[in-house]
Amino acid sequence: MTILIEQPDHQLAGSQMEEKKLCSETNETCELVLDGGFVVPKDISKNDGCVTQEIAASNDAFIAPEINSFGQSFRDYNAESERQKSVEEFYKSNHINQTLDFVKKMRQEYSKLNRVEMSIWECCELLNEVVDDSDPDLDEPQIEHLLQTAEAIRKDYPNEDWLHLTALIHDLGKVLLLPSFGELPQWAVVGDTHPLGCAFDEYIVHHKYFKENPDYNNASFNTKYGIYSEGCGLDNVMISWGHDDYMYLVAKENGTTLPQAGLFIIRYHSFYPLHRAGAYRHLMNKEDEENLKWLQVFNKYDLYSKSKVRVDVEKVKPYYLSLIEKYFPAKLRW
């Protein structure tokens, strides 16, 4: 298989991370919704002047491009850019509003799974409709990002079919942005995640805004362990609410037979402070340590396959439908 990756021939300095653009018909400003939820001016979201670069041929391992379609390096928070201010605004809302109490309420509410009944593939198509042609990193529909990630992993790990499916479904929780799923604000759906109930680690992006979070001065929460204990296991830790935890709940409560590592990837793929900086490892148990290795494998593909890697959806669809059938019931409660 040949993977084509188009990259612009110009270099824009800038902060960057996994990103999406949501363009509601009623929203004149046509905000870009990134995985980190920040807003991007429309004019820099165009991919004019791209050059096509053939970077990988059959039998080659997946090659991570150094820049995305904007010519910006991935997840470079410190670099200056048009977007930086929007990123900050997003994280300001996120850090102020995500409290332990908020997370508990959201988990309780969304555990009911009483909103929609549909299959995994139907949800892929639903998500597709939401973001459609409005992704700033690539012009392809959202389903292509899911399949790009899955296909890139499949190429390098052909025998781990559970990992291919995990990649396909990891972002489906973003349907939380839709009216039928509560139309949650961006700060409650996308962006990096972090634990609540213990001190906010310095590594968390735009850490300074936690000072305005009610939990920040709570003496029960603002220590290294807070309400937790050493090696208690991430399963016992409340993580900020978003598409990760929601999709984990959906998969688990609908009785998926995906291995633990797959559920771990879905649940913590935005937990960058952990899998990038090693923060909060003191809360992990042995099982988490094992699962983290798979998450780190996955993350490379999730982040970097968001360049112009074209996937023929109809061609690969039968394979993914067979995986869905293997690991999920025909209809799931959402």
**Binding positions for Fe ion, 170-229, rule CB under 5 A:** 171
- Judging by beta carbons within 10 Å of its beta carbon (0-12, 13-18, 19+), is residue 238 exposed, middle or buried? buried
Which residues share a beta bridge with 202? none
CB of residue 226 to Fe ion, shortest distance in Å: 26
Q: Any known ligand binding at 276?
A: no
Q: Any known ligand binding at 201?
A: no
C-alpha neighbours within 13 Å on the C-beta side of residue 278: 0
Q: With respect to Fe ion, which residue has the nearer C-beta, 171 or 245? A: 171
> How many Å apart are CA 145 and CA 118, to the nearest integer?
21
Q: Any known ligand binding at 270?
A: yes
> How many Å apart are CA 4 and CA 227, to the nearest integer?
48
Residues in contact with Fe ion, counted by CB under 5 A, come to a total of 3
Q: Is-contact 111 177, C-beta < 8 A?
A: no
Q: List, as one string, the DSSP characters of 270-302.
A: T-HHHHTT-TTGGG--HHHHHHHHHHHHHHHHH
Q: List, as one string, the DSSP characters of 79-95.
A: S--TTHHHHHHHHHHHH
Non-local CB neighbours of 211 within 8 Å, separated by 6+ positions: none
Q: Any known ligand binding at 36?
A: no
Q: With respect to Fe ion, which residue has the nearer C-beta, 256 or 299? A: 299
Q: With respect to Fe ion, which residue has the nearer C-beta, 144 or 302? A: 302
Q: Any known ligand binding at 171?
A: yes
Non-local CB neighbours of 37 within 8 Å, separated by 6+ positions: 90, 94, 186, 187, 189, 190, 191
Looking up tokens 């995305």, which residue turns up? 68
Q: With respect to Fe ion, which residue has the nearer C-beta, 167 or 284? A: 167
- Contact residue for Fe ion among 291, 302, 307, 320 (CB under 5 A): 302
Binding mask 262-301 for Fe ion (x = CB under 5 A): ----------------------------------------
CB of residue 11 to Fe ion, shortest distance in Å: 24
Q: With respect to Fe ion, which residue has the nearer C-beta, 135 or 171? A: 171
Q: With respect to Fe ion, which residue has the nearer C-beta, 198 or 234? A: 234
> How many Å apart are CA 143 and CA 161, to the nearest integer?
18
- Amino acid letter for position 58: S
CB of residue 114 to Fe ion, shortest distance in Å: 24
**Binding positions for Fe ion, 33-92, rule CB under 5 A:** 35
Q: With respect to Fe ion, which residue has the nearer C-beta, 137 or 302? A: 302
The CA–CA distances, whole Å, from 188 to 58, 137, 230 equal 40, 22, 28
Q: Any known ligand binding at 275?
A: no
Binding mask 13-42 for Fe ion (x = CB under 5 A): ----------------------x-------
144 binds Fe ion (CB under 5 A): no
Three-state DSSP state, 53? strand
Could you tell me which stretch among 78-86, 155-163, 167-175, 213-221 binds Fe ion (CB under 5 A)?
167-175
CB of residue 38 to Fe ion, shortest distance in Å: 14
Q: Any known ligand binding at 134?
A: yes
The CA–CA distances, whole Å, from 287 to 163, 164, 277 equal 17, 21, 19
Residues annotated as binding site for substrate? 75, 132-134, 174, 191-192, 269-270
Residues annotated as binding site for Fe cation? 145, 170-171, 243, 269, 302
Interface residues toward Fe ion, by CB under 5 A = 35, 171, 302
